[in-house]
């Protein structure tokens, strides 16, 4: 039986917010990457319409990437990949849409995104 359940649950919450392990949260060795970028624009992108995006997690991941903190990048990217797929889609769409020099637009209803892509010529076998 756990002797101090309050302390354990507080450490779990701190670990969940920071992306660090529960052991490091319990010892107080959790670090943050400041300043956190403003990720409210992710909600306006069409890559995850109608989904709840975890902008706090996205901001912590971007800040860890800017600071090149490998432990934080590993743990936060694993968390976003397994638990927050819409946030991952919005982040990827924001980055790759910007790199392509296009502003993101939603697909018209009734059409798929594949129908707008050019077709590859059939291979001659």
Q: What pLDDT is attached to residue 109?
A: 44
In terms of pLDDT, which residue wins out, 81 or 8? 81
Q: What pLDDT is attached to residue 81?
A: 92
pLDDT in tens, 28-86: 666 778 888 888 888 777 777 777 888 888 998 999 889 888 888 888 889 899 998 88
pLDDT in tens, 11-40: 778 777 766 666 666 766 667 788 888 888
CA 81/CA 89 separation, integer angstroms: 9
Of the pLDDT bands very low, low, confident and very high (cuts 50, 70, 90), residue 106 is very low
Q: Tokens 């934080």 — which residue? A: 72
Using CB atoms within 10 Å of the CB of residue 72, give its burial: 0 to 12 exposed, 13 to 18 middle, 19+ buried: buried
Contacts of 45 (CB under 8 A, 6+ apart): 90, 93, 94, 97, 104
pTM for the structure as a whole: 0.60
């Amino acid at each position: 039986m756990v002797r101090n359940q309050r302390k354990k649950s507080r450490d779990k919450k701190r670990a969940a917010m920071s992306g660090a392990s529960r052991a490091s949260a319990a010892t107080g060795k959790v670090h943050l990457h400041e300043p956190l970028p403003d990720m409210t624009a992710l909600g306006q992108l069409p890559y995850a319409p109608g989904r709840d995006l975890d902008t706090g997690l996205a901001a912590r991941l971007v800040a860890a990437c800017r600071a090149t903190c490998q432990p934080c990048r590993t743990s936060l990217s694993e968390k976003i990949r397994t638990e927050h797929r819409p946030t991952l889609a919005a982040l990827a769409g924001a980055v790759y849409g910007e790199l392509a020099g296009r502003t993101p637009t939603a697909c018209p209803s009734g059409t798929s995104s594949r129908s707008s892509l050019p077709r590859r010529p059939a291979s001659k076998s």
